[in-house]
Each structure stands twice: as structure tokens, then as C-alpha cells.
């Protein structure tokens, strides 16, 4: 518990809007600066600006940031700076959830480490283990690995982690989702206790917090707020409608209000399914939530993009990070939990300069959140003209 308190005490929050200094101000080696130029990066991103000095100072760190924040550079740059190219043994280990991420991270580290002649191996399942053993015989200093395959190598004694100075757990929340945390613990036991540990994750659920408390030493927590979309070009409406009449209101909107492609948000996957069933089986409705298999998800998205379904009913989580190009209406069937969620949801319409409309249903249980929305958006949030009860 002592460590948990210290984590909170060192918490820093940065926003994407913050202007960053240059890479030159971070006192990096000329070889690294050259590699950064090769990658075409002009300025450090906020997670790089904050994370590089922490990691370069040898401190443990938790980086709470989404994919796309530049987190690979945030740990990759200090790693290539501090490894010893003359020592032909694995000195840095990056654990990642998927093969795709392993390849992507390995590629970026290869570019960053080239000037210092550091060599990188990617170890992941579904690929010849014999080939990977050959690559390991070239004695790379950096290993990027998925947990299952790395354990396999450890059991075969084809890789040795006794000299690892830095461990990174990348996309830790996805490793948790995929059930890799027990493997991660086993792997950490093969590394020296004196190692530096960094953990990157978009969210920090309890299990991840426990890892931080048990496996890290007073980590500094850097949190990068996800960038908020702008809602200026969106027409925002609210519609007062009793909970039990929301379906009727939605049907009226579909009939009278030119909803050509609507994204409808509900709070849970059960509510998503229930609404889809209630709207009938006319094939015009798709669903998106965490209970779907990848193939079902892609099918629902494709049908919506190709306008074969007119409505996509989704949970927040399922819709996170989606880039749907043509959404005419966002309908908050269930009130969002907070302002940030509201902005993320509503920002799904009016992409790329198009105009868009957002309609938020306000039921009898939503008054508190509705007050918050009104305080935040004032006149920009207008009463919708539809009369559900006429
Ligand atoms: P990541 O969050 O590490 O997956 O990075 C997301 C993307 O941003 C990758 O394509 C990186 O090459 C790119 N990127 C990382 N850092 C920077 C930077 N400082 N400037 C511009 N692009 C960057």
C-alpha cells in the first residue's frame, strides 16, 4: 500500500494540446537525434516529453496513454540511449500482447537503435521458433516478445534474461484482457530484481495497479489525457423523454428526421442487444459491443459503412477509437456517464468537415448529468423540436 500512495503522489497529467519542446532539449545522443529525424518526428509528443527524462533517469514509470500517443518512442528512445552495444546479451525486454505490435515495436526500435548498432529480435507465436532461435544466436541486445512465445524460449533455454536492465510492459491492459498476466509474472521472475520497469496502458484496472505495486519500485505515473474531438460544428439537441418511451422517440426520429446513418449509444451490451431486438428484424440495425467476436465486429462495421444498416447500436467501449467516416446522427439513447464520454461520443459525427447532429435523450433518471451538460454547453445544446407524445 505504501507504494500505491507514492504512485498517486507523483502523478502528473499532460494534455495533447500542450505545446512541446524539441528533441534537442532532451539531451540525446547525436545518433539518436539522427534516427528521430529519419523517422520524421519534429517534436516529442507529450508522453515522450515527460517519459523520456523519467526513464533516462533510471526510474520506474507508468505511462497511461493510448496507442497513437507515441509511447513506443517514450520508452524506445531512453532504451537505445542507455544500452551497451559492446555487450552482446539481452539488456532490454519489451512485452507486448500481439504479434502485430511486436513487429511494429521491433521495427521502430531497429530504426532508433541503428546508429548505436543495437540489434533487435521479435519473438511471437505463429512463427517458426527455429528461425527465432537463429536470430537469438546473433545475440541481440533488445527483445520484443509476446509472453507465451517468450516462455517457450525460456523453457528451451534459447534466451537468457539474467542481464536485463529494463523491462517494458506495453499495452498492459490488453495483456490483461488476453489472460497473459500470469505469464508476465513468470517472465519477470527470470529478470534481475534490480531492473528498471516501465508499464504502458490506456487504462489502469485493479489488476494492473497490483502489478505496479508488487513489481515496480515507486513508479512515476504519467497520464496523458486522450485528445477530445471538437464539437463546434455539431448541432447538439436534447430530447426530454421518459425512459419507457425512448424506443418510441427513436422510431419517430427515424421516420421523420432524416437519420441516414445513426450511431446509437447505450451503456451496456445487454441494453444494446435489447434495443436491437426491440427495433425489429428488418435488417436495418447492427450492434457493436465487447461480447462480439472479431469477425462479427468487422461484419457489423462493414454493413454500417456500406449503408446496408442504417443504425449501429454500440457501447462506449466498443466505439472507442473507431473511425467511422460518415455518421449523420449520434443518438445518446442512454445518457453518457460524464462530459468527456459525451464529447467522445458526439465527436463521432461531423467528421472531416461534414455537418452532424447529436441528440441526447433525457429521461427521468438523467437530470443530474443533464444539468452538467447544460452548464458546459449552454445555448449550444438546444431542445429538439420532436414531440414524442403528440
Ligand atoms: P505509438 O503510440 O508509439 O504507437 O505511435 C503512434 C505513431 O506516431 C507511430 O506511427 C509513430 O511513428 C508516430 N510518432 C511517434 N512519436 C512521434 C513524434 N514525436 N512525432 C511524430 N510522430 C510520432
Q: Count CB atoms within 10 A of the CB of residue 387.
A: 9
Dump the DSSP string for 227-279. PPPP-TTEEEEEEE--GGGHHHHHHHHHHHS--SSEEEE-SSHHHHHHHHHHT
Portion of the chain with pLDDT greater than 70, in percent: 90
Residue 364 pLDDT:
95
Over range 329-338, report the average pLDDT.
94
Residue 264 phi, psi (nearest 5): -110, 125
Which ligand 1 atom is at minimum distance from the Cα of 69?
2
Which ligand 1 atom is at minimum distance from the Cα of 45?
19
- pLDDT tens digits for range 19-68: 447 999 998 999 999 999 999 999 999 999 999 999 999 999 999 987 77
- pLDDT tens digits for range 212-222: 999 999 999 99
Name the pLDDT band for 7 (thresholds 50, 70, 90).
very low
Angstrom distance (rounded) from CA 348 to CA 345 = 6
Residue 250 pLDDT:
95
Residue 258 pLDDT:
82
323 vs 132, higher pLDDT: 132
Which ligand 1 atom is at minimum distance from the Cα of 66?
2
Ligand 1 in reach of 20 Cβ (< 6 A):
no
Ligand 1 in reach of 205 Cβ (< 6 A):
no
378: left (phi over 0), alpha (psi -120 to 50) or beta: left
10 vs 389, higher pLDDT: 389
Residue 65 pLDDT:
86
* Chain centre to alpha carbon of residue 253: 33
Ligand 1 in reach of 78 Cβ (< 6 A):
no
Q: Count CB atoms within 10 A of the CB of residue 288.
A: 22
288 vs 294, higher pLDDT: 288
Residue 252 pLDDT:
92
Exposed, middle or buried, 346 (CB in 10 Å: 0-12/13-18/19+)? buried
Question: Mean of the per-residue pLDDT values for the chain?
Answer: 89
Question: Which residues of the chain form beta strands (DSSP E)?
Answer: 12-15, 61-64, 92-95, 120-123, 142-145, 166-169, 196-201, 220-225, 234-240, 262-265, 285-288, 311-314, 329-332, 356-362, 381-383
Among 319, 311, 267, CA closest to 292? 319
CB 109 within 8 A of CB 198: no
Residue 335: pLDDT over 60: yes
Which ligand 1 atom is at minimum distance from the Cα of 41?
20
CB 356 within 8 A of CB 345: no
DSSP structure class, residue 330: E
Q: Percentages helix, strand, coil for the chain, rounded to the nearest 5?
A: 45, 20, 40
Reduced to 3 states (helix: H, G, I; strand: E, B; else coil), residue 203 is coil
Nearest CA to ligand 1 atom 7: 68
Nearest CA to ligand 1 atom 15: 70
Residue 185: pLDDT over 50: yes
- Contacts with 120 (C-beta within 8 Å, 6 or more apart), sequence order: 106, 109, 110, 113, 140, 141, 142, 143, 144
Residue 44 alpha carbon to ligand 1 centre in Å:
9
Which three cell numbers, joined as nine digits, stand for 198? 516501465
Over range 63-88, report the average pLDDT.
94
Name the pLDDT band for 11 (thresholds 50, 70, 90).
very low
Residue 373 alpha carbon to ligand 1 centre in Å:
34
Ligand 1 in reach of 72 Cβ (< 6 A):
yes
Residue 295 pLDDT:
81
Residue 341: pLDDT over 60: yes
Over range 239-246, report the average pLDDT.
96
Ligand 1 in reach of 68 Cβ (< 6 A):
yes
Ligand 1 in reach of 63 Cβ (< 6 A):
no
Over range 269-289, report the average pLDDT.
86
Residue 191: pLDDT over 80: yes
DSSP strand pairing (166-169 vs 92-95): parallel
Ligand 1 in reach of 69 Cβ (< 6 A):
yes
Over range 228-241, report the average pLDDT.
87
Ligand 1 in reach of 73 Cβ (< 6 A):
yes
pTM for the whole structure:
0.66
Nearest CA to ligand 1 atom 18: 41
Nearest CA to ligand 1 atom 22: 41
Which ligand 1 atom is at minimum distance from the Cα of 23?
19
351 vs 39, higher pLDDT: 39
- Contacts with 90 (C-beta within 8 Å, 6 or more apart), sequence order: 140, 141, 142, 143, 159, 160, 161, 163, 164
Residue 5 pLDDT:
32
Ligand 1 in reach of 45 Cβ (< 6 A):
yes
Query: Residues, the chain, total?
Result: 390
Best residue among 51, 70, 75, 76 to mutate for probing ligand 1, ranked by most atoms within 8 Å of CB: 70
Amino acid at each position: 500500500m505504501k507504494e500505491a500512495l507514492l504512485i498517486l503522489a507523483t502523478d502528473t497529467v499532460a494534455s495533447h494540446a500542450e505545446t512541446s519542446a524539441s528533441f534537442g532539449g532532451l539531451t540525446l545522443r547525436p545518433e539518436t537525434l539522427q534516427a528521430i529525424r529519419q523517422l520524421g518526428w519534429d517534436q516529442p509528443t507529450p508522453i515522450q516529453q515527460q517519459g523520456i527524462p523519467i526513464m533516462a533517469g533510471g526510474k520506474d514509470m507508468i505511462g497511461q496513454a493510448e496507442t497513437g500517443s507515441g509511447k513506443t518512442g517514450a520508452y524506445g528512445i531512453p532504451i537505445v540511449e542507455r544500452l551497451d552495444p559492446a555487450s552482446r546479451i539481452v539488456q532490454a525486454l519489451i512485452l507486448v500482447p500481439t504479434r502485430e505490435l511486436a513487429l511494429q515495436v521491433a521495427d521502430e526500435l531497429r530504426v532508433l537503435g541503428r546508429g548505436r548498432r543495437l540489434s533487435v529480435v521479435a519473438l511471437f507465436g505463429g512463427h517458426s521458433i527455429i528461425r527465432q532461435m537463429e536470430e537469438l544466436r546473433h545475440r541481440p541486445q533488445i527483445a520484443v516478445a509476446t509472453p507465451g512465445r517468450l516462455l517457450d524460449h525460456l523453457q528451451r533455454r534459447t534466451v537468457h534474461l539474467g542481464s536485463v536492465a529494463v523491462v517494458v510492459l506495453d499495452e498492459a491492459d490488453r495483456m490483461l484482457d488476453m489472460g497473459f498476466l500470469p505469464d508476465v509474472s513468470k517472465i519477470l521472475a527470470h529478470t534481475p530484481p534490480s531492473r528498471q520497469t516501465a508499464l504502458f496502458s490506456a487504462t489502469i484496472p485493479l489488476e494492473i495497479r497490483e502489478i505496479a505495486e508488487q513489481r515496480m519500485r515507486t513508479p512515476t505515473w504519467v497520464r496523458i489525457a486522450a485528445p477530445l474531438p471538437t464539437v463546434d460544428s455539431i448541432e447538439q439537441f436534447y430530447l426530454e423523454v421518459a425512459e419507457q418511451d425512448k424506443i418510441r422517440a427513436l422510431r419517430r426520429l427515424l421516420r421523420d428526421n432524416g437519420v441516414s446513418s445513426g450511431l446509437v449509444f447505450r451503456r451496456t451490451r445487454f441494453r444494446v442487444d435489447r434495443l436491437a431486438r426491440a427495433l425489429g428484424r428488418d435488417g436495418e440495425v447492427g450492434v457493436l459491443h465487447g461480447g462480439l467476436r472479431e469477425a462479427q465486429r468487422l461484419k457489423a462495421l462493414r454493413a454500417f459503412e456500406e449503408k446496408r444498416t442504417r443504425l449501429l447500436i454500440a457501447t462506449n467501449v466498443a466505439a472507442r477509437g473507431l473511425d467511422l467516416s460518415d455518421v449523420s446522427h449520434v443518438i445518446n439513447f442512454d445518457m453518457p456517464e460524464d462530459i468527456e464520454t459525451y464529447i467522445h461520443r458526439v465527436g463521432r459525427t461531423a467528421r472531416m468537415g461534414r455537418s452532424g447532429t447529436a441528440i441526447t435523450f433525457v429521461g427521468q433518471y438523467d437530470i443530474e448529468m443533464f444539468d452538467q451538460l447544460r452548464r458546459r454547453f449552454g445555448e449550444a445544446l438546444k431542445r429538439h423540436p420532436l414531440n414524442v407524445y403528440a
